[in-house]
Amino acid sequence: MNVRFISTSPARLALLAFLALPAAAIAQAAPYPQLDPKHTMQGASADTPVPPALYRSVFAGLPTGVEETRVDWKKANADVGQFKRGHADLLKWEQEQAKAPPKAADRPSGPPTR
């Protein structure tokens, strides 16, 4: 332990007191605010009227996505359930669909346009 640092010489005590004066003056400058007990008692009363809480859902302004229609989740689960081996069966099914000729409703009815 450094004993020379902890000293009670009058010069050091005077310097410490001089440096502490501005802090003491600032601490005393602002008076403590006095609260009005009337408002506290009014706020503690159960009869005090309170404005209704405003609720706005965080999901209100979100985009709905790229799908235009909603799909029945039970039907979607059944459709996915037909692929017993998972993704490998799904890829095979997509390749078969790409090779198949388009249906009559998908074919253009008139001559090709530029």
Tell me if 108 is assigned to some domain: no
Tell me if 83 is assigned to some domain: yes
Global confidence as pTM: 0.24
Better-scored residue on pLDDT, 2 or 44: 44
Please give the tally of structural domains in the chain: 1
Tell me if 24 is assigned to some domain: no
Tell me if 15 is assigned to some domain: no
Q: How far apart are CA 47 and CA 87, in angstroms?
A: 63
Q: Which residue has the tokens 């332990």?
A: 1
Better-scored residue on pLDDT, 55 or 113: 55
Q: How far apart are CA 105 and CA 103, in angstroms?
A: 5
Kindly state the tokens that stand for 69. Answer: 């229609």
Q: Return the exposure string of 48-84: e unless at least 16 CB atoms fall within 10 Å of the residue's CB, then b.
A: eeeeeeeeeeeeeeeeeeeeeeeeeeeeeeeeeeeee
Tell me if 56 is assigned to some domain: no
pLDDT at residue number 90: 79
pLDDT class of 52 with cuts at 50, 70, 90:
very high
Better-scored residue on pLDDT, 35 or 4: 35
Do 75 and 82 touch, CB atoms closer than 8 A?
no
Tell me if 89 is assigned to some domain: yes
Tell me if 86 is assigned to some domain: yes
Tell me if 3 is assigned to some domain: no
Domain containing 84 equals 74-101
